[in-house]
Amino acid sequence: IQMTQSPSTLSASVGDSVNLTCRASEDILIWLAWYQQKPGKAPKLLIHKASILQPGVPSRFSGSGSGTEFTLTISSLQPDDSATYYCQKYTHYSWRFGPGTKVE
């Protein structure tokens, strides 16, 4: 199963709402997670099972979708949200990350 993300880079302003898209080449039901990675840091889990927010993650982050198309929405974008965002599928004891979306 291949994962794609769009756009590859996104420029937005503080306060904007942005949508990041992740697509799977086959149906993965809801077995999708989203991660945030800042330069020089380890990734941070934001969402699992497509829409479940990890404890401690701000509520401006939300996930939706199922099957082959998923969305990470960041409402009211903050300067601290500048990072690369990766989706990740987990099915059939195989995990795969998407190529990432850089949010500037």
Partner 1 sequence: QELLVESGGGAVQPGGSVRLSCAASGFIFSRYAIHWVRQAPGKGLEWVAVISDAGRSTYYADSVQGRFTISRDNAKNVVYLEIPTLRGDDTALYYCTRDYDILISYGMDVWGQGTAVTVSS
* Least distance (Å) between residue 78 CB and partner 1: 22
Asked whether position 95 contacts partner 1 by CB under 8 A, the answer is yes
Q: How many C-beta atoms lie closer than 10 Å to residue 20's C-beta?
A: 22
Task: Tell me whether residue 59 or residue 94 sits nearer to partner 1 (CB atom).
Answer: 94
Amino acid at 39: P
Complete DSSP assignment for 36-101: EE-TTS--EEEEETTTEEPTTS-TTEEEEEETTEEEEEE-S--GGG-EEEEEEEEETTEEEE---E
Task: Tell me whether residue 14 or residue 93 sits nearer to partner 1 (CB atom).
Answer: 93
Give, as ranges, the residues between 10 and 29 that touch partner 1 (CB under 8 A): none
Residue 98 CA to chain centroid, in angstroms?
9
Stretch touching partner 1 by CB under 8 A, among 13-21, 37-45, 65-73, 75-83 = 37-45
Which of 20, 22, 35, 36: binder of partner 1 (CB under 8 A)? 35
Asked whether position 69 contacts partner 1 by CB under 8 A, the answer is no
User: Binding residues for partner 1, per CB under 8 A?
Assistant: 31, 33, 35, 37, 42-45, 47-49, 54, 84, 86, 88, 90, 93-100
